[in-house]
Structure 1
Amino acid sequence: MEIKKQRFGSKFIKNFWRELEKDNLALLATILLIVLFLFIIIGQIFVPTDIGTMSNILSANLPPLTNGHILGTTNSGADFVLTLIASASNSLIIGFGVAILITIISVTFGMIIGYFGGWIDWIAMRLIDFWLVMPLLMILAIIFSTAKGLSIWSLILILAVLSWPPNVRLIRTLTLSEVNRDYVQAAKISGTPWYKILFTGIFPNISSTVISDFALTLAGSIGIETSLTYLGFGLKHGTSSLGTMLTVLSGSSASSVYTQWWLWIPVTLVLIILTFGIVVLGQVARRAIDQRQSVS
């Protein structure tokens, strides 16, 4: 069993690097993500714990290269680069938290629904259909305006609870395509427990799509948090995120958008690198797993 795991890991890594070598766009995305993650991780050492609540009117809105601030300061007087590091870190925590929760929910319930079918499938699909027609953004706006700002962990939980249906439907469809195959029928006849069939038989065969879906969910979660916070909903006051950094644009004039480029271009670049890089690497990982499965 140990040899099998090592072979799986080594084959996946080998296929992953082979795909990167063939795809210049993916290689660029990988380099940009590595540089950005190192920037965030190392930068955390220098970020003050109170950067989100800092208030220094005398140092507010300084232009780049003033008083040792490379990209100037925010409207609260905090160093812009350090605020960007803290904001990107929080947005990543939210994105990964939501993506992990949704993936756990969708894999667990989507596979069970698809495997057993019947009345379980009928009830689950009616519930999902009902959930999908609800105005998600309006519900989120009502929740956030009522709560007047949420903590990071509360936001993760709410976004995950409200966003799982499409992912569950996808995994359920993938499972339905597998349950009638010979290896599943043979496992049933031999008396293999259903949970073993699901997680050691079916799951490896749909894992490439799960990886790709996880990457899309991660990128989408970062985008949703940024959009909601920019619109004035989402995180409570004092919690930095990429969305809170872009709120400075909401009260800016058209001319200041060009003259004060440092207030939005670095944040936008970080968002583009994160979403672009995560989605591209998800596709590379999917192709690497598909290659491993084709030779297994």
Structure 2
Amino acid sequence: MEKSKQRFGSRFFKNFSAELEHDGLGLTALIMLVTLFVIIFVGQFFVPSNIGTMSDILNADLPPLTGGHILGTTDSGADFILTLIASAKNSLIIGVGVATLITAISIFFGMIIGYFGGWADWLAMRIIDFWLIMPLIMILAIIFSTSKGMGIWSLILILSLISWPANVRLVRTLTLSEVNRDYVQASKISGTPWYKIIFSGILPNISSTIISDYSLTLAGSIGIETGLTFLGFGLKHGTSSLGSMLQVLNGSASTIYARWWLWVPVTIILIVLTFGFVVLGQVCRRALDQRQTMK
């Protein structure tokens, strides 16, 4: 089993490297993400623990290259770059947390209802259809407005519980496409337990699409958190995030032009994260694809 896992791992990285050699966009996305992750990781050692609640009126709203601050300070007097690093880290944690939890839910429930079918599948699909037509953004706004903001982990849980249906339906559809194949029927006849058929047989064959969906969910989760926090919902006051940094755009229109340094770097970070995850997700999908592996 260990040798099989090693062969799979080495084969995946070999295919992944081969894909990057022929995909300049993917290589660019990888370099951008790695650079951003290194900056965030190293920068954490210089970020004050109270940066989200800092209040230094004398050093508030300093322009770039003033008082030793390369990009100036925020309206609370905190260094803008350090605030940006803390915000990017929190938004990244939320995105990864939501995407991981949703993917775990979709793999478990989507594969089970797709494998067994019957009345459980019918009931699950009716619930999912009803859930998908609900105005989820309005529901989120109501939840967050009544709670006056949430912590990072509470937000991850709420976004995951709200956003799972589409992913479950995708995994269920993928499982249905595999259930009637010869290898599944042969496993059933030989008496292989259903959970081994699902997680050892079917899951590896649909993993490429799940990886691609994970990357899209990750990018989308960061965007949802940013949008909600920008609108005044989402994270509680004092918790730095990319959405809270973009709230400066709620001021006068002159802020967009006269104080560009307050929103342009934040926008660049958002573009790098969403672009990087989506593109690398497609590269991983091709590397995992069985047809690609056989080449």
TM-score w.r.t. length of structure 2:
0.99
What pairs with 1:38-77 in structure 2 (closer than 5 Å)?
A: 38-77=38-77
Instruction: Compute the displacement of 1:2 (Å).
Output: 1.4
Q: CA deviation at 1:294?
A: 4.5
Partner of 1:288: 287
**What one-letter code is carried by the residue in structure 1 that aligns with 2:20?**
L
In 2: Cα distance, 1:46 partner to 1:62 partner? 19
Task: Provide, for residues 76-99 of structure 1, a one-character-per-residue CA deviation record: whole Å limited to 9, x for no partner.
Answer: 000000000000000000000000
What do residues 121-155 of structure 1 show as CA deviations (whole Å, max 9, x unaligned)? Answer: 00000010111111000000000000001000000
Structure 2 spans left out of the alignment, 5+ residues: none
The amino acid of 2:173's aligned partner reads T
Match for 2:262: what amino acid? L
1:37-186 correspondence to structure 2 within 5 Å: 37-186=37-186
Aligned residue-pair number: 295
* 1:291 Cα deviation from its structure 2 partner: 4.8
Name the aligned partner's letter for residue 274 of structure 1: L
Q: Which residue type is aligned with residue 165 of structure 2? A: P
Q: Which amino acid aligns with 1:272?
A: I
* Contact 1:228/1:234 (8 A) holds in 2: yes
Specify the alignment match of 1:271 in structure 2: 270
Aligned to 2:213: 213
> Which SS does the other structure have where 1:107 is aligned?
helix
Q: Whole-Å Cα distance in 2 between the matches of residues 218 and 281 of structure 1? A: 12
| 1:243-262 equivalent positions in 2, closer than 5 A | 243-251=243-251, 253-262=252-261
Offset at residue 259 of structure 1 (A): 1.4
CA distance in 2 between partners of 1:204 and 1:157 (Å): 27
Asked if the contact 2:226–2:243 (Cα under 8 Å) also holds between the matched residues in 1, the reply is yes
Q: Deviations over 1:29-78 (max 9, x none)?
A: 11110110000000000000000000011101000010100100000000
Q: Deviations over 1:175-219 (max 9, x none)?
A: 000000000000000000000000000000000001000000000
SS in 1 for 2:289: helix
Matched, 1:5 2:12: no
Distance 1:8 1:237 in 2: 45
Mapped contact 1:51–1:83 kept (Cα < 8 A): yes
- Kindly indicate whether the alpha-carbon contact (under 8 Å) linking 2:287 and 2:293 is maintained by their aligned counterparts in 1: no
What secondary structure sits across from 1:200 in the alignment? Answer: helix
The DSSP-based 3-state class of the residue aligned with 1:66 is coil
Structure 1 unaligned spans of 5+: none
Task: Describe the SS at the equivalent of 1:53.
Answer: coil
C-alpha contact 1:12 1:292 (8 A) present in aligned 2: no
Q: CA RMSD in A?
A: 1.0
Cα deviation, 1:82-118, whole Å, max 9, x if unaligned, reads 0000000000000000000000000000000100001
Q: Is the 8 A contact 1:15 1:292 kept in 2?
A: no
Could you tell me the TM-score, scaled by structure 1's length? Answer: 0.98
**How far did 1:256 drift?**
2.3
Task: Give the partner amino acid of 1:254.
Answer: A
- For residues 66 and 238 of structure 2, what CA distance do their matches in structure 1 show? 24
Whether the 8 Å contact between 2:15 and 2:293 is mirrored in structure 1 is no
- Say if 2:248 and 2:255, in contact at 8 Å, map to a contact too: no
Q: CA deviation at 1:3?
A: 1.2
Query: How far apart are 1:295 and its partner, in Å?
Result: 2.0
Deviation at residue 292 of structure 1 after TM alignment: 6.6
1:283 maps to amino acid: Q
Q: In structure 2, give the amino acid aligned to 1:104.
A: A
Taking the aligned partners of 1:117 and 1:293, their CA distance within structure 2 comes to 30
Aligned equivalents of 2:245, 2:11: Cα separation in 1: 42
